[in-house]
Amino acid sequence: MVNFTIVNGQVYTPGLAIVDAPQPNTPLGGENLQVAIDVSGNGQLPWPSQSDSSTRFHSITLFLTSQSQSRNFTISNGTKPASNSSYAYPVLDLEPSSTVKHVNWIWPECFVGDGSGSKDSARGEYNISMHQAFRWNDTDYYTVFDLPISVTNSISSSDDRIDCDLLENKLLTAAEIDESSDTLPGQPWVEGASTTSSSGAAETGMGNHCHAGLKRIMGAVFAVTAVLHLLDSAHSPCPIARSRQPEQPITPMTLLSAKRALRYRLARALILILLSWSLIELHLIQHRIYEAENTQRTPRKERIYIASVNWNNEQVLRSHWNKAVLNLLSELGAENVFISVYESGSYDNTKGALRELDWELDKLGVLRNITLSSVTHQDEIAAPARGDGWITTPKGNRQLRRIPYLARVRNLSLLPLQDLARKGIFFDKILFLNDVVFTVSCVGLVFGLDADRDLQPSDVFELLDTNEGDYGAACSLDFSKPPHYYDTFALRDSNGREAIMQTWPYFSSKVSRSAMKRISPVPVTSCWNGMVAMPAKPFLDNPPLRFRGIPDSLAQLHLEGSECCLIHFDNPLSKKGVYLNPLVRVGYNGAAYAAVHPIMSWLSAWRIVQGTWTNRVRRLGDTAWLKGEMIRRRIDRWGALDAKHQEDGQICIIDEMQILHRYGWIHV
């Protein structure tokens, strides 16, 4: 059941927004989905809003959701990838001088048709799900409102329509949405208005609020306590009845009953202790998250060498990366930065996106080297199998190994560093940048503020300041499909083991796990995870620190190790500490970045408690040592073949064989 208030044809939401169109339960179609939203409270709220106002919008985010179709499409999420015309602009940025924002969303391909469509069609009953973050009378709220519609009118085919999969998100249940949404003490603009109900659509959408899980946990605590109390009462006769009964002789049965009652009370006490422990731990972790994410830091003014390798990542370059790099330069100062980019034979228009960046850097007078290579993966594979980096597969074919190839390409991005040093130009740190969304502040991305104001390089400065700038390496935490982190290949905890789980708190090592719970720099033995800062000095030593793979003879035993892990064991400064910074979270697309930078805390109360206990259970049944033992035996067998066979980065090695492929790489 969806409730909404209508006055003079306007739909008043549980928030500051008023929907002028469409009306509830309207059948829609045509070229676009059109939504008109009044952001002035019918003239009661000044526009544009002031940042210090007691009542103002933070953001409006729109989704198209359906429980019956199990669909959740992004209409507007505060970003607009240049290659995706179906994303609307951030709602609050539309028609800047107007108090009515008109969203025109191009229907994606799966809505093409008439009526309710075929069984394979996405057409049917939907909600326009509006997520509002706002301040009302100096209190911040987050609400979700569903406006029921139906997609049943005719929608014609068009080249402008994109694949629905590009817009689809996880569909949350009504219960999850209810827990994510705040309850307002009233409606800001209407008093005494009638409320209309509609059963035409079920409540759906997306949302994230740090107190939602807390409500769930508290409810569970009270429920368990009540049940235990009732059971305790059932086991204990009332005092009055007991006083009227004559004394019973002690028998084996009464002793057994007493033992059972004692065991029950001990179990009851244990459950209450565990619940209390969880709540206390939850409170401490949430407090640490709040303190860590609200600590102001002064950016370090350092000279930075930026190194990046690019392949087939045009979309993220155009939508986020180029702009973020330019904003970073404005903060660091063009005179303090050198940018080295190596593009390795992309099949898309990555070269075009990098040429655009080069043009912007030229206008700013930035020292740089942008290499656009015409050598594709296919060219590399077709070359004669000579020298290092080749392996014989089980089928007897000579194939180019993936990791030595990646190491070589990364080293090409470091070539200008030595040339600059010979000219007397030195740098404090090297910043390695993968094709990730970074430096966009949490407030800017989610609230949809003006692009020139919200793209602040907070991620980079936070990373550079890890452990007060004293480290052998500092890494971000990367996400492609949150809440699971991405780079499992390179990350090893303080004990040199792979993460025990891909969700928070990740690690089996007590040292790494405890630091993650404190939201402080996490000591690890290896990491990469999208963005890495390292002191520049080792890369200028003689011999210089460089990326590498494990020897071909070792890889022949169906073993492989990441170049981004091995480099930490070759780096003499790793003894100063290698850290994963949980405050620096990057994404491989805008949606992933937004998911780990929500309006409230990035870790809900439920995720904290669930993750903590899941981690404990997994540690009890951890059998990773078996896999490690198998790998160690292969390495020992290899080492016994030749006294020169040594590998310092053994903890980086996994049971895989990876070869380069025309369109990427494959396991063998």
Instruction: Point out the least confidently predicted range of 435-449, 499-513, 560-574, 630-644.
Output: 435-449
Asked whether residue 269 carries a pLDDT value surpassing 80, the answer given is no
CA distance 370 to 415: 12
Q: State the average pLDDT over residues 589-593.
A: 86
Asked whether residue 273 carries a pLDDT value surpassing 60, the answer given is yes
Give the per-residue pLDDT at 562. Answer: 97
Q: What angle do CA 225, 231, 235 make, to 5 degrees?
A: 140
What is the pTM for the complete model shown? 0.64
Q: Please list, in sequence order, all residues whose beta carbon lies within 8 angstroms of the beta carbon of residue 89, skipping any fewer than 6 positions away.
A: 76, 80
CA distance 9 to 384: 73
Dump the DSSP string for 254-291.
HHHHHHHHHHHHHHHHHHHHHHHHHHHHHHHHHHHHHH
Asked whether residue 131 carries a pLDDT value surpassing 60, the answer given is yes
Asked whether residue 156 carries a pLDDT value surpassing 80, the answer given is yes
**Crossing angle of helices 210-235 and 252-293, rounded to 10°:** 170
Give the per-residue pLDDT at 551. Answer: 97
For 22, which DSSP code?
A: S
**pLDDT confidence band for 270 (50 / 70 / 90):** confident
Read off the pLDDT of residues 20-34 as tens digits, 9 standing for 90 and up.
999 998 999 998 899
Q: Which of 569, 538, 571, 548 is nearest to 418 (CA)?
A: 538
Read off the pLDDT of residues 286-335 as tens digits, 9 standing for 90 and up.
888 877 777 767 777 899 999 999 999 999 999 899 999 999 998 889 99
CA distance 13 to 90: 19
Asked whether residue 204 carries a pLDDT value surpassing 80, the answer given is no
Token pair belonging to 37: 């939203």
CA distance 497 to 524: 9
Is 304-588+623-667 a CATH 2.30.29 domain? no
**Crossing angle of helices 510-518 and 252-293, rounded to 10°:** 60
Read off the pLDDT of residues 617-640 as tens digits, 9 standing for 90 and up.
999 988 888 888 999 999 999 999
Give the per-residue pLDDT at 183. Answer: 78
Size (the chain), residues: 668
Determine if residue 378 is left, alpha or beta; phi over 0 gives left, psi from -120 to 50 gives alpha, anything else beta.
alpha
Give the per-residue pLDDT at 184. Answer: 79
Q: Return the bridge partners of 149, or none.
A: 26, 126
CA distance 557 to 398: 15
Q: Which of 554, 549, 560, 566 is nearest to 637 (CA)?
A: 554
CB 132 within 8 A of CB 15: yes
Asked whether residue 531 carries a pLDDT value surpassing 70, the answer given is yes
**Residue type for 650, please?**
Q
Give the per-residue pLDDT at 219. Answer: 56
> Going along 175-221, which residue ranges are E strands?
195-198
For 596, which DSSP code?
A: T
Give the per-residue pLDDT at 158. Answer: 83
SS3 157: coil
CA distance 420 to 131: 50
**Residue type for 612, please?**
T
Please state the three-class secondary structure of 78-109 as a single string: CCCCCCCCCCCCCHHHCCCCCCEEEEEEECCH
Give the per-residue pLDDT at 406. Answer: 97
Q: State the average pLDDT over residues 540-551.
A: 97
Asked whether residue 7 carries a pLDDT value surpassing 50, the answer given is yes
Asked whether residue 225 carries a pLDDT value surpassing 70, the answer given is no
Q: Return the bridge partners of 28, or none.
A: 151
Highest mean pLDDT among 88-97, 295-304, 513-522: 513-522
Q: Domain boundaries in the chain?
A: 2-206, 212-238+254-293, 304-588+623-667
**pLDDT confidence band for 265 (50 / 70 / 90):** confident
Asked whether residue 474 carries a pLDDT value surpassing 70, the answer given is yes
CA distance 547 to 649: 12
Q: Please list, in sequence order, all residues whose beta carbon lies within 8 angstroms of the beta carbon of residue 499, skipping any fewer than 6 positions away.
A: 485, 488, 491, 493, 506, 507, 508
CA distance 413 to 13: 52
Give the per-residue pLDDT at 247. Answer: 54
**pLDDT confidence band for 599 (50 / 70 / 90):** low
Percent of residues, the chain, with pLDDT higher than 90: 50
Instruction: Point out the least confidently predicted range of 108-117, 376-385, 390-399, 541-550.
Output: 108-117
Give the per-residue pLDDT at 254. Answer: 61
**pLDDT confidence band for 448 (50 / 70 / 90):** very low
**pLDDT confidence band for 169 (50 / 70 / 90):** confident
The arrangement of strands across the sheet holding 100-106 comes to 100-106, 32-38, 18-21, 10-12, 2-7, 195-198
Can you tell me which residue has the tokens 């209390």? 276
Q: What angle do CA 233, 234, 236 make, to 5 degrees?
A: 65
In Å, the largest CA–CA distance within the chain is: 102
**pLDDT confidence band for 233 (50 / 70 / 90):** low
Percent of residues, the chain, with pLDDT higher than 70: 82
**pLDDT confidence band for 425 (50 / 70 / 90):** very high
- Per the model's pLDDT, the better-predicted residue between 560 and 276 turns out to be 560
CA distance 183 to 196: 18
- Per the model's pLDDT, the better-predicted residue between 448 and 562 turns out to be 562
| Strand 26-28 versus strand 139-151 pairing type | parallel
Read off the pLDDT of residues 235-259 as tens digits, 9 standing for 90 and up.
554 444 444 445 556 566 665 666 6
Instruction: Point out the least confidently predicted range of 163-172, 228-237, 317-326.
Output: 228-237
How far lies 291's CA from each of 135, 201, 609, in Å? 21, 41, 19
Asked whether residue 446 carries a pLDDT value surpassing 60, the answer given is no
Asked whether residue 52 carries a pLDDT value surpassing 50, the answer given is yes
Token pair belonging to 619: 């540690």
**pLDDT confidence band for 42 (50 / 70 / 90):** confident
Give the per-residue pLDDT at 210. Answer: 42
